[in-house]
């Protein structure tokens, strides 16, 4: 009674909170039915899934237990309320204890044990239960009669409360009784449901129904009418009962209807189609319209609830889009928008690792993940790289076996007698044998015996490998081009002479020497045909021919612009010739100057007097232009003017210690500068700026300071025979041509050894020359070729001269193995003249 | 498969005009084929059937057509798809060798005026010839090779001319045509070295000389002018030396060249153009006595000729090329065009006096060549005949091309030009 009361009250409290309205209860009933129907349906449709169903039920029961706790709390509240209303205050202490008991009993584990305890007292309580049942019926009846109102409920609760309190000492009993009740009520309820729907029962009934429904609210209470559990029900096929109820009594099978009955039922009962048998209880259940509707909806694969709008617009509460004001009302934490220090530290570490190469960025990593293929067998040629042995030198390869090694060699490989004899002869020196074995013939491979020398040879091989010293031979691959210095392109060094432009023809014998006027209009040549010719450069016209009565070995134009004078070395004479070209005034002044010899006030020493005699030209040679004749005691090979044009030096190679004589024109005086012969003097040269005098002997060039009267330098030519020298207009570089085909460039500041040796010519170099303005020098040789070189001298003392061979010009005709005798540049234009043994002078521009 | 080209013929000579319609010709067509085409067209035009065949030259994109048309266009990198304008003009007739005047020595200077040929020789003499080749006079007087001669005035009775020589003097001569007597009126002294060139101003009252002393000197060319006499005391002394002739001193000395002046020509009454061995061409103003402008080449100049018709300057330098300069333009390359055909130094060049584009050149390769300035690849005609270097040439009289050389001859060609 009390339990039922509590259940009722509980429900009402809940419903009261929900502002219970009868209509609403109707709905509730419907849903409940729906729930039940659903349950049945599922149990019908899939029997196999019954276990799952039970699990769910268990879960639900657990939940319901929790609910039960809550309910108790509510109840307590009510109890307190009721207590305040109640007169019997003495029951409070019991109430508290009862509560405690109930709490302990709420746990399932203790549940059973308590139950057993209570079962000991079993029979007494059963009687009480019967009383309770009776009271409940009464109550039901009374509630049926009375229209339910809040007041009556309160009364009921007031009545039931004390009862409950008394009974709560055995909570398990309550549960049991409630389940028992619920099962019975359900039966009633189902019937009533059907009734309800069919007959549209009055409101009282509805409430009743609702009450019944709520009595069996919890699923465990509702379902567990048969306690056999989730077993195949066919196990009970042979029995009369279906299982056991909560009290352990058999749930009997309903009477089995025979076919006739069922047929009649089918015929007569309009609800036969919606009648379903509950396998658990064996009862027939008539499904309501709503149930049928739900079943139909389910069969149509629709949502069971008809009221549920599955096409309702979707409310996207949490969108992927970033909203201006997010749904969450809590503002973001400060942390969320402050950069994280820890992360920054991590990133910095990563960046550092990437920088140091410990970590690789993603892309590079990917590459390294690419499958690596290892060469299993390397080629025979390639050097095998071993991890441990560096610079491994592989053993020499053995020869592959040839025909001779075959077990069945062709007959020509087999030794004949002679070869065998030879083989045997070399027994003591086996390494001299051509083969280290005797080829042998077997009919089949099967007949081949074991190789008796195998171990021996393997041992020898090991010895070879072990004892043979192996060294890595480094091979240098030097391209010939790499050895050549980097030189600028000759095209960039223009202008320089490239083509022959003019041939000056007229001499009848070799032209040994040429000289060009300082203005560049005229040229003078001296030849073996005993004449000196004056040429107009631009037209090639021979303006004048001066017979000098000797082989002209050297001509030199006086550099003094105020004089028109040429020094001509012809045999033993040196002639000073006025060519009569150029400025007439200068010519006439020269004549005036040389007309009379100045008076000699100095006593000329005997040594000089015997070597040189000055002589005024006689009338008949005067008209030819010869003004002064200087007789030498030996054949004069060279005349060289000093830059000012007053002094000139003559060279007589055979003159012993008087081979070099310096003449002064203005005083008509001569002196012999050297007392001792240093060798066979080849040529001499005045320094263009400083008072230096260069004397070239066969192998050396000596530089004397004329002012200090001392030897300044001795240049070693490293050659056998110097032929000619030329000095750079700057005065710091000397060019030396030698008969042994070389051309030497001396940098006087640098060293006494040649700065560069040019071996450009095939035969003896006979003439070398510098250009006065352009960075050019040229050399003429017996191989008839004139070679033009670029010779740039820089003002920067640290920079070495740049020497670039530019052009080889070979236009001269061969004549008695001689080629070019003399080379001279035009003073102003980048033109060069060469005089050759072919009687011509050629101009290259 | 021959490519077809669209050509349109135009001409400035109205009498040879053909319809303006474009013609399609194969691209391999040369000037000969075009010539026959034009002639056919003209023959069709001529109603009287007495048409005389004329040779034409064809000008395509400013250059005379010498190769097949497609090659020509390729050279100028012109698309063959456009219509090509081909200008044609009557071909310059070939000069005919006319005469050979023998001298005693190298002929180094020549100038023609009105049927009279004046030549200078390396044997220090001047020679006067008629255009027919008759020797008129031998004029001694110089003491060095004559390097330049120039007519000053000429009429039926009297003629004056100037000669410059290596003896450092220029001489002004008066020649009485009727009596065939020549007289040295003035000796121009002042140069310190040999003279190379002489030029007479268009007004015929001034002349300029240049030489190896690098100075350009301007003299009065008027025979009767005596104003500058007595300016220098030397002149009187010199006058006595030379008897009849009076010594003349320069009106002006223009210094600036660093090396020998090889050519001088008056371009105006107060403007002189000079070429020098120092690789420069200069324009001088005689009024202010200074340099107007300068063109720097990279070779020594041996000769230069300025054309009053086109205002262009052609030069001969120490190589085988003839170069065309435009003294008026400062933009672009200095050398407008290079004419290469000679194999040796070119010693002298002369513009035609009547044709814009024609000039002659004499070279050390014994050739005189007639050029069209629009055809730089090849000359129009090679005038052969000399046996030695050609030292001088002249085309002052349009009908006569004369050249002197180191073979001691003066050769005369008739240029046969209509006009």
Could you say which of A540, A585, A829 has the minimum Cβ distance to residue B192? A585
* Beta carbons of B302 and A538 less than 8 Å apart: yes
Contact A829 B277 (CB under 8 A): yes
Residues A125, A119: Cα–Cα separation, whole Å: 9
Q: How many whole angstroms separate alpha carbon A168 and alpha carbon A179?
A: 16
Nearest Cβ partner for A829 among B168, B194, B300:
B300
Q: Are residues B157 and B232 in the same domain?
A: yes
Gyration radius of chain A's alpha carbons: 70
In this structure, what DSSP letter does residue B2 have? P
Per-residue model confidence (pLDDT) at position B418: 54
Q: What is the mean pLDDT of residues A538-551?
A: 89
d(CA A569, CA A513) in angstroms, rounded, equals: 10
Average the pLDDT over A336-354 and give the result.
91
pLDDT tens figures, A612-661: 888 888 888 888 888 889 999 989 999 999 988 889 999 998 888 888 99
The answer to whether the CB atoms of A539 and B106 lie below 8 A apart is yes
How does pLDDT run across A454-474, given as a tens digit for each residue? 998 889 888 888 887 777 778
- Does residue B134 sit in the same domain as residue B200? yes
Q: Give the whole-angstrom CA distance, residue B28 versus residue A7.
A: 123
Give which of A521, A587, A845 to mutate to test B binding, by max B Cβ within 10 Å. Answer: A521
pLDDT, mean over chain A: 75
- Place A365 in a pLDDT band, splitting at 50, 70 and 90: low
pLDDT band at B260 (very low <50, low <70, confident <90, very high): very high
Domain enclosing residue B252, as ranges? 96-414
- Residue-level pLDDT at A843: 92
Selection from A711, A728, A722, A719 nearest residue A771 by Cα: A728
Q: Rounded mean pLDDT of A742-754?
A: 89
Residue B419 lies in a domain: no
> Under CATH, what is the fold of the domain A493-598+605-844?
Methylamine Dehydrogenase; Chain H (2.130.10)
How would you classify the pairing of strands A832-836 and A820-825? antiparallel
What are the Cα distances from residue B307, in Å, to B267, B296, B349, B352, B355? Answer: 8, 19, 11, 8, 9
Interchain CB distance below 8 Å, A845 and B318 = yes
Same domain flag for B115 and B27: no
Q: Does the pLDDT value for residue A21 go beyond 50? A: no
B409 lies in the same domain as B333: yes
Q: Is B345 in contact with A521 (Cβ distance < 8 A)?
A: no
Which of B260, B298, B344 shows the shortest C-beta gap to A501? Answer: B344
Residues B133 and B86 both lie in one domain: no
pLDDT above 80: residue A791: yes
User: Count of A–B CB contacts within 8 Å?
Assistant: 53
**CB proximity under 8 Å: B 130-189 to A:** 145, 167-168
A588 Cβ under 8 Å from any chain B Cβ: no
Q: Is A446 helix (H, G, I), strand (E, B) or coil?
A: helix
CA neighbor of A212 nearest in space, from A413, A25, A64: A25
Instruction: Give residue A250's pLDDT band: very low, low, confident or very high (50, 70, 90).
Output: confident
Check residue A193 and give its pLDDT. Answer: 46
Q: Which residue has the tokens 């030519």?
A: A717
Cβ of B192 within 8 Å of Cβ of A583? The answer is yes
| pLDDT for the residue A113 | 41
Q: Are residues B74 and B171 in the same domain?
A: no
Q: What is the distance between the alpha carbons of residues A578 and A585, in angstroms, rounded to a whole number?
A: 12
**CATH number of the domain residue B39 falls in:** 3.10.20.90
Phi and psi (nearest 5°) for B149?
-135, 150
DSSP A826: -
**Closest chain B C-alpha to A359 CA, distance in angstroms:** 59
Say if residue B236 is in the same domain as residue B120: yes
Q: How far apart are CA B99 and CA B239, in angstroms?
A: 40
Domain boundary among B90, B122, B149: B90
H/E element, A51: helix A50-85
* pLDDT of the residue at B241: 47
Task: For B187-243, give the DSSP string.
Answer: EEE--SS-EEEEEE-TTSSEEEEEETT--EEEEE--TT--TTTTSSHHHHHHHHHTT
Give the 3-state secondary structure of residue A616: strand
pLDDT value, residue A288:
87
Residue at which a domain ends, from B42, B75, B90? B90
Q: For the CA atoms of B380, B386, B388, B390, what is the dihedral angle to 10 degrees?
A: -50
pLDDT at A723 over 60: yes
Closest residue in A to B407 (Cα–Cα):
A541
Q: How many residues does chain B have?
A: 419
pLDDT tens digits, one per residue of B370-404: 998 888 888 888 988 898 999 999 998 888 899 99
- Mind telling me how many Å the CA of A589 is from chain B's nearest CA? 13
pTM of the model: 0.63
- Identify whether residues B384 and B271 lie together within a single domain: yes
Whether the Cβ atoms of residue B31 and residue B377 lie closer than 8 Å to each other: no
Query: Least CA distance to A831: which residue of chain B?
Result: B318
Query: Coil, strand or helix: which one is A714?
Result: strand
Q: Which of A495, A538, A541 sits opposite B122 (nearest CB)?
A: A541
Interface contact B277-A828, CB threshold 8 A: yes
Q: Which CATH number goes with the domain that contains B236?
A: 2.130.10.10
Q: Which pLDDT does position A442 carry in this prediction?
A: 92
B69 and B111 in a single domain? The answer is no
DSSP string, A560-583: -TT---EEEEETTEEEEE----S-
Place of tokens 């004029």: B139
Question: For residue A718, what are its two tokens?
Answer: 């490293």
Best mutation target among B109, B142, B212 (most A Cβ atoms within 10 Å) is B212
CA pair distance B141, A345, nearest whole angstrom: 109
pLDDT band at residue A453 under the 50/70/90 scheme = confident
Say which of A499, A541, A829 has its CB closest to residue B106.
A541
B194, A521: Cβ pair inside 8 Å?
yes
Rounded distance between C-alpha atoms, residue B35 and residue B8, angstroms:
13
Q: What is the pLDDT of residue A377?
A: 64
Helix or strand (DSSP H, E) at A182: helix A171-199
Flag if A501 and B298 touch (Cβ within 8 Å).
no
Tokens representing residue A344 in the block: 């920054």
Q: So what's the ipTM on this one? A: 0.88
Chain A residues whose CB is inside 8 A of the B213 CB are: 583
Give residue for tokens 């040779």: B55
In angstroms, the separation between the Cα of residue A493 and the nearest Cα of chain B is 13
Does B289 fall in a domain? yes
Residue A766's pLDDT is what?
A: 92
Average confidence (pLDDT) over B26-32:
83
Q: Based on the domain organization, do B155 and B10 belong to the same domain?
A: no
Question: What pLDDT shows up at residue A648?
Answer: 92
Domain co-membership, B199 together with B225 = yes
Query: How far A739 CA lies from chain B's nearest CA (Å)?
Result: 34
- H or E stretch including B162? strand B158-165
For residues B82 and B180, membership in a common domain is answered with: no
Residue showing tokens 């070779």:
B299
Cβ-contact A653, A680 below 8 angstroms: yes
Top mean-pLDDT range of A68-72, A120-124, A133-137, B325-329: B325-329
Query: Per the structure block, which two tokens stand in for A735?
Result: 């060019």
Q: A829 vs B192: CB contact, 8 Å cut-off?
A: no
Query: Which residues in chain A have Cβ-Cβ distances shorter than 8 Å to B364?
Result: 501-502
Q: Does B192 touch chain A (CB under 8 A)?
A: yes
- Residue B43 tokens, joined: 């023959």
What domain count does chain B have? 2
Measured distance CA(A590)–CA(A603) in Å, rounded? 26
Quick one: average pLDDT of A540-565? 90
Gap between the Cα atoms of A780 and A822, Å rounded: 7
Beta-carbon separation of B406 and A584 below 8 A:
no
Distance CA A636, CA A721 (A): 18
Nearest CA distance, B54 vs chain A (angstrom): 41
CB contact under 8 A, A538 and B145: no
Is residue A135 pLDDT above 80, yes or no? no
Q: What is residue A383's predicted lDDT score, i.e. its pLDDT?
A: 60
Residues A584, B168: C-beta atoms closer than 8 Å: yes
**pLDDT tier at A309 (50, 70, 90 boundaries)?**
confident
Task: Give contacts of A540 with chain B, Cβ < 8 Å.
Answer: 389, 406
Domain spans in chain A, listed from the N-terminal domain onward: 403-464, 493-598+605-844
Would you call B25 helix, strand, or coil by DSSP? strand
Tokens of B344: 């040796």
DSSP reduced 3-state for A733: strand
Most confident segment among A109-123, A494-508, B46-60: A494-508
pLDDT at residue A693 in the model:
92
Contact yes or no for A539 and B391 at CB 8 A: yes
For chain B, the average pLDDT equals 85
Confidence of residue A369 (pLDDT cuts 50, 70, 90): low
Is A726 strand, coil or helix? strand
Please give the residue of chain B at the shortest CA–CA distance from A829. B300
Q: Is the four-CA dihedral A433, A437, A439, A440 of positive or negative sign?
A: positive
């Amino acid at each position: 009674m009390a339990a039922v009361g509590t259940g009722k009250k509980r429900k009402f409290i809940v419903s009261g909170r929900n502002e219970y309205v009868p209509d609403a209860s109707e709905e509730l009933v419907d849903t409940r039915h729906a729930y039940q129907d659903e349950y049945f349906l599922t149990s019908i449709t899939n029997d196999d899934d019954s276990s799952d169903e039970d699990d769910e039920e268990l879960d639900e029961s657990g939940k319901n237990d929790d609910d039960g706790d809550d309910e108790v709390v509510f109840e307590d509240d009510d109890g307190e309320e009721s207590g305040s209303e109640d007169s019997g205050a003495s029951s409070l202490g019991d109430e508290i204890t009862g509560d405690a008991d109930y709490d302990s009993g709420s746990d399932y584990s203790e549940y059973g044990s308590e139950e057993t305890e209570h079962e000991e007292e079993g029979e007494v309580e059963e009687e009480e239960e019967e009383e309770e049942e009776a009271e409940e019926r009464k109550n039901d009846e009374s509630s049926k009669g009375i229209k339910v109102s809040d007041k009556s409920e309160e009364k009921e609760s007031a009545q039931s409360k004390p009862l409950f309190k008394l009974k709560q000492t055995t909570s398990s009993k309550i549960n049991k009784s409630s389940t028992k009740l619920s099962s019975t009520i359900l039966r009633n309820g189902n019937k009533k449901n059907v009734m309800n729907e069919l007959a549209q029962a009055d409101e009282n009934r509805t409430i009743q129904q609702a009450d019944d429904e709520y009595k069996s609210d919890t699923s465990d209470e509702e379902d567990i009418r048969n306690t056999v559990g989730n077993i195949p029900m066919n196990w009970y096929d042979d029995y009369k009962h279906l299982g056991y109820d909560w009290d352990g009594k058999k749930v009997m099978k309903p009477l089995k209807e025979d076919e006739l009955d069922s047929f009649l039922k089918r015929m007569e009962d309009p609800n036969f189609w919606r009648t379903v048998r509950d396998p658990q209880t064996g009862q027939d259940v008539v499904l309501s319209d709503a149930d049928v509707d739900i079943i139909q909806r389910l069969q149509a694969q629709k949502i069971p609830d008809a009221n549920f709008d599955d096409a309702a617009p979707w409310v996207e509460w949490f969108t992927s889009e970033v909203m201006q004001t997010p749904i969450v009302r809590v503002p973001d934490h400060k942390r969320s928008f402050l950069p994280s220090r820890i992360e920054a530290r991590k990133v910095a570490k990563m960046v550092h690792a990437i920088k140091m190469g410990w970590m690789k960025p993603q892309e590079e990593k990917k590459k390294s993940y690419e499958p690596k293929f290892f060469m299993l067998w390397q080629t025979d040629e390639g050097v095998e790289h071993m991890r441990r042995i560096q610079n491994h030198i592989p053993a020499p390869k053995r020869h592959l076996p040839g025909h001779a090694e075959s077990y069945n060699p062709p007959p020509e490989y087999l030794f004949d007698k002679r070869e065998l004899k030879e083989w045997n002869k070399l027994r003591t020196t086996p390494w001299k044998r051509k083969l280290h074995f005797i080829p042998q013939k077997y009919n089949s491979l099967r007949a081949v015996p074991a190789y008796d020398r195998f171990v021996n040879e393997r041992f020898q091989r090991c010895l070879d490998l072990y004892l043979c010293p192996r060294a890595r031979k480094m091979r240098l691959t030097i391209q010939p081009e790499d050895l050549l210095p980097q030189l600028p392109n000759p095209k960039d060094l223009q202008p320089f002479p490239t083509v022959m432009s003019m041939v000056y023809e007229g001499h009848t014998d070799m032209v040994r020497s040429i000289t060009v006027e300082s203005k560049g209009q005229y040229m003078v040549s001296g030849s073996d045909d005993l004449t000196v010719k004056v040429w107009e450069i631009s037209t090639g016209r021979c303006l004048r021919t001066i017979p000098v009565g000797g082989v002209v070995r050297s001509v030199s134009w006086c550099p003094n612009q105020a004089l028109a004078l040429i020094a001509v070395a012809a045999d033993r004479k040196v002639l000073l010739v006025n060519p009569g070209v150029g400025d007439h005034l200068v010519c006439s002044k020269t004549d005036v100057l040389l007309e009379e010899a100045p008076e000699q006030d100095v006593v000329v020493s005997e040594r000089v007097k015997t070597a040189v005699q000055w002589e005024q030209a006689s009338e008949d040679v005067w008209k030819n232009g010869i003004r002064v004749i200087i007789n030498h005691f030996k054949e004069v090979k060279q005349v060289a003017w000093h830059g000012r044009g007053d002094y000139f030096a003559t060279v007589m190679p055979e003159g012993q210690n008087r081979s070099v004589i310096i003449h002064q024109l203005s005083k008509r005086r001569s002196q012999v500068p050297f007392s001792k012969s240093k060798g066979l003097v080849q040529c001499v040269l005045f320094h263009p700026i400083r008072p230096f005098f260069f004397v070239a002997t066969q192998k050396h060039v000596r530089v004397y300071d004329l002012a200090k009267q001392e030897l300044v330098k001795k240049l070693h030519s490293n050659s056998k025979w110097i032929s000619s020298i030329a000095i750079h207009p700057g005065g710091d570089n000397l060019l030396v041509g030698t008969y042994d085909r070389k051309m030497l460039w001396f940098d006087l500041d640098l060293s006494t050894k040649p700065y560069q040796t040019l071996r450009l010519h095939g035969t003896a170099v006979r003439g070398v020359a510098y250009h006065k303005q352009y960075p050019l020098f040229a050399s003429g040789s017996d191989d008839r070729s004139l070679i033009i070189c670029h010779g740039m001298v820089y003002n920067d003392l640290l920079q070495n001269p740049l020497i670039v061979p530019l052009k080889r010009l070979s236009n001269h005709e061969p004549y008695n193995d001689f080629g070019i005798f003399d080379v001279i540049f035009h003073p102003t234009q980048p033109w060069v003249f060469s005089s050759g043994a072919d009687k011509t002078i050629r101009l290259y521009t | 498969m021959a490519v077809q080209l669209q050509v349109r013929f135009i001409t400035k000579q109205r009498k040879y005009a053909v319809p303006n319609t474009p013609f399609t010709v194969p691209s391999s067509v040369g000037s000969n084929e075009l010539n026959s085409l034009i002639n056919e067209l003209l023959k069709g035009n001529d109603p009287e059937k007495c048409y005389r065949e004329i040779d034409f030259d064809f000008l395509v994109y400013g250059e005379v057509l010498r190769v097949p048309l497609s090659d020509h266009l390729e050279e100028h990198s012109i698309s063959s798809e456009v219509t090509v304008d081909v200008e044609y003009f009557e071909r310059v007739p070939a000069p005919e060798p006319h005469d050979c005047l023998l001298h005693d020595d190298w002929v180094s200077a020549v100038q023609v005026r009105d049927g009279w040929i004046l030549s200078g020789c390396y044997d220090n003499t001047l020679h006067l010839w008629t255009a027919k080749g008759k020797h008129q006079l031998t004029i001694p007087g110089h003491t060095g090779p004559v390097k330049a001669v120039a007519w000053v005035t000429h009429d039926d009775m009297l003629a004056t001319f100037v000669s410059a020589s290596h003896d450092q003097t220029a001489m002004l001569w008066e020649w009485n045509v009727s009596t065939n007597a020549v007289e040295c009126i003035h000796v121009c002294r002042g140069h310190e070295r040999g003279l190379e060139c002489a030029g007479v101003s268009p007004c015929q009252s001034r002349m300029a000389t240049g030489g190896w002393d690098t100075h350009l000197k301007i003299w009065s060319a008027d025979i009767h002018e005596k104003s500058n006499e007595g300016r220098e005391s030397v002149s009187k002394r010199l006058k006595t030396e030379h008897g009849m002739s009076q010594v003349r001193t320069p009106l002006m000395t223009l210094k600036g060249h660093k090396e020998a002046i090889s050519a001088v020509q008056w371009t105006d009454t107060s403007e002189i153009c000079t070429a020098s061995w120092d690789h420069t061409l200069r324009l001088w103003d005689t009024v202010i006595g200074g340099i107007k402008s300068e063109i720097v080449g990279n070779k020594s100049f041996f000769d230069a000729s300025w054309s009053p018709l086109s205002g262009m300057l052609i030069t001969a330098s120490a190589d085988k090329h003839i170069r065309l300069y435009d003294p008026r333009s400062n933009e672009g390359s200095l050398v407008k065009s290079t004419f290469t055909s000679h194999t040796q130094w070119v010693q002298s060049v002369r513009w035609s006096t009547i044709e814009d584009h024609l000039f002659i050149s004499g070279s050390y390769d014994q050739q005189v060549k007639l050029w069209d300035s629009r055809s730089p690849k090849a000359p129009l005609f090679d005038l052969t005949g000399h046996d030695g270097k050609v030292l001088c040439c002249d085309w002052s009289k349009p009908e006569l091309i004369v050249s002197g050389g180191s073979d001691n001859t003066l050769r005369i060609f008739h240029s046969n030009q209509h006009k």
